[in-house]
Amino acid sequence: MADRRSVLRVQTGVRMEKRVLLVLKALAGSLDLSLGDLLEGIVLHAFEGKPPFRAATLARIGALREAYGLDLVAEDSHRLTESPSVKPASDPAKASSSGRRRGSRRRRRKF
């Protein structure tokens, strides 16, 4: 095996279409990889214009896509919009800077 490369990994919060994530998690599990390792491999292959999967893995992906109802294709990637029934998570940057949690008990002035 080739020499290992040491890398610095960071935690990230990435929003992704639910069924895409389900297929990726299932694929990572079936390949005995973490989701992060799978995504790194896909991205590094894509950066070099190389296909990330062999025929057997593509067949497995096809079965997982069917199982999870994933009908999106590459062409859809530029046309996806957020479902109106989904509210984005609150922005932590807009949280109170006083250090108090929302809903904490404090006296309120009556006007």
Read off the pLDDT of residues 44-70 as tens digits, 9 standing for 90 and up. 999 999 999 999 999 999 999 999 999
Q: How far apart are the first and last CA of the chain?
A: 73
Confidence bin at 90 (pLDDT 50/70/90): low
Cα 38 from Cα 24, distance rounded (Å): 8
Token pair for 30 = 């079936």
- Report the chain's mean pLDDT, rounded to a whole number: 86
Q: How far is CA 19 from the centre of its chain?
A: 10
What are the Cα distances from residue 27, in Å, to 4, 34, 36, 52, 58?
Answer: 24, 10, 12, 13, 10
**Which helix or strand (DSSP H or E) is residue 56 part of?**
helix 55-67
pLDDT higher than threshold 60 for residue 95: no
Read off the pLDDT of residues 4-16 as tens digits, 9 standing for 90 and up. 999 999 999 999 9
pTM, to two decimals:
0.72
Token pair for 44 = 């590094």
